[in-house]
Amino acid sequence: MGAEPIRPLMFLEGSVTLLKYILRRVISLIPTLLGVTFVIFMFTRLIPGDPAVAMLGEHAAQDNVERIREQLGLNRPVFLDREALQQGDFTGFFDSQYVRFLGRLSQGDLGDSIHRRIPVAETLALRFPATIELALTSMLLAILIGVPVGIASAARRNTAVDNISMVGSLIGVSMPIFWLGLMEIMLFAVFLHWLPSGARLDSSFDIPSVTNLLLVDTLLAGNLEAFLDAVKHLVMPAVALATIPMAIIARMTRSSMLDTLQEDYIRTAHAKGLSEGVVLFRHALKNAMLPVITIIGLQTGNLLAGAVLTETIFSWPGVGKWVYDAILGRDYPIVQGGTLVIAIVFVFINLLVDLSYAYLDPRIKYE
């Protein structure tokens, strides 16, 4: 009877420790996010060309160019001009382009497009769900195929299953996305006419935008035909984008499972007479998932950042193609806003990966 109060006390201490671990990880994101804003701002300014000249044309009058630069705030120093820096006068820093950028960002204002004069956040709300839908579908495909293939390859080491799996994953890593995308279009769209070659939905459908995720919106509208059409449009770009992470996940799962299967507790489980399936999935898989989850998190971020080629090839109206077009047009606010959102999502995905470690291996939150 006297031992009963200990269990709630241990649970409370464990919860407090976990909360401290989460809080520590969240606080550590602040300098990371500041660093991300600085890098994005600086690399945007390194894009060759002048946005004002890009808007008005190369033969525009210099007075008009300077007027546009003043309207866009491009005549202010990026941080500090050389003369003020030499004099040790840092007051101008608070009126610099970078500080103004941070000030607008703190209010959720990503600025307006230089060319179209439309708020970046407004366009981003329409574009980002398309990229999220493509990236999550690709990652789901990569996990559903890559993890089982890696497990089967480790369980059947040095057999035909293992050799075929590893050769297939090597091919998957080696194939460029743009080449695979073009081959998919030629085979399934041009020759076989099985799948559409671009866009997200046939123009004959009129689906109300609720979440801007077409798979969700078509179901909310109760339009099964439109849902199936959205799936058809999604298949080729999702498969092309999923190929590389699928191969990487399969190889990492195999490697991690092989290391885990050599542990003493696995041999003990076999000695107890447990079935192969129980040993693999109940005892080995959970402990082997830490490096696999790390790869999944990193690859999810890479999918968001690397969707530029896929979106361009398949005319997918997402953030990647939008940012690519903005780079060509020297549209700073779009490049900054789109890249920043992708970077922030990447950072928070890594945070979720770190927090999942504490669940899979409770020793981590006590370290």
pLDDT tens-digit readout, 224-250: 999 999 999 999 999 999 998 999 999
The sign of the CA dihedral 175, 179, 185, 191 is negative
Where residue 264 falls among pLDDT bands split at 50, 70, 90? confident
Proportion of the chain above pLDDT 70, given as a percent = 81
Largest CA distance in the chain: 90
How confident is the model at residue 88, as a pLDDT? 60
pLDDT at 87: 61
Per-residue pLDDT at 364 exceeds 60: no
Cβ contact 150:254 at 8 Å = yes
Residue 287 belongs to some domain of the structure = yes
pLDDT of residue 236: 92
- Is residue 260 included in any domain, yes or no? yes
Is 356 part of any domain?
Answer: yes
Average pLDDT, integer, range 101-108:
80
Q: Is residue 133 assigned to a domain? A: yes
pLDDT of residue 359: 66
Contacts 24+ apart (CB under 8 A), 283-286: 284/257, 284/260, 285/151, 285/257, 286/360
For residue 25, what pLDDT is reported?
76
Going by C-beta distance under 8 Å and a sequence separation of 6 or more, which residues neighbour residue 159? none
312 within some domain: yes
pLDDT, residue 231, reads 92
Cα-only R_g, the chain? 26
CATH of the domain at 152: 1.10.3720.10
Q: Is the pLDDT of residue 10 over 60?
A: no
Look at residues 251, 282, 247 and name the one whose alpha carbon lies nearest to residue 265: 282
Convert the pLDDT of each residue in 15-32 to its tens digit: 666 677 778 877 877 888
Residue range 163-210, pLDDT digits in tens = 888 888 888 888 888 888 889 999 998 998 899 887 888 888 888 888
For the chain, the first-to-last Cα distance in angstroms comes to 32
The alpha-helical segments, DSSP class H, found in 73-116 are: 82-87, 97-106
Q: Is 88 left (phi over 0), alpha (psi -120 to 50) or beta?
A: left
| pLDDT tens digit sequence for 131-173 | 889 989 999 999 999 999 998 888 888 888 888 888 888 888 8
Nearest CA-CA partner of 68 in 119, 115, 122, 101: 115
- Domain range spanning residue 311? 127-204+233-366
Looking at residue 356, what is its pLDDT?
A: 74
What is the pLDDT, as a whole number, of residue 32? 82
Per-residue pLDDT of 39-70, as tens digits, reads 887 777 776 666 666 666 667 777 777 777 77
The whole-number pLDDT of residue 137 equals 92
- Nearest alpha carbon to residue 52 among 63, 42, 41: 63
Percent of the chain topping pLDDT 90: 12
Please state the φ and ψ torsions of residue 119, each to the nearest 5 degrees.
-55, 130
Of 320 and 227, the one with more pLDDT: 227
Residue 326 located in a structural domain: yes
* pLDDT reading at 1 higher than 50: no
- 13: confidence class by pLDDT, cuts 50, 70, 90: low
Nearest alpha carbon to residue 98 among 35, 162, 163, 4 = 35
Indicate if the pLDDT at residue 292 is higher than 80.
yes
What's the pLDDT band for 5 if we cut at 50, 70, 90? low
Average pLDDT of the chain is 80
Q: How many domains does the chain have?
A: 1
Query: For residues 239 and 260, what is the distance between their CA atoms, to the nearest angstrom?
Result: 30
Q: Note the pLDDT of residue 83.
A: 62
Angle of helix 160-174 relative to helix 224-260, nearest 10 degrees, comes to 120
On the question of pLDDT at 94 being above 60, the answer is yes
Would you list the DSSP string of 264-313? HHHHHHHHTT--HHHIIIIIIHHHHHHHHHHHHHHHHHHHHHTHHHHHHH
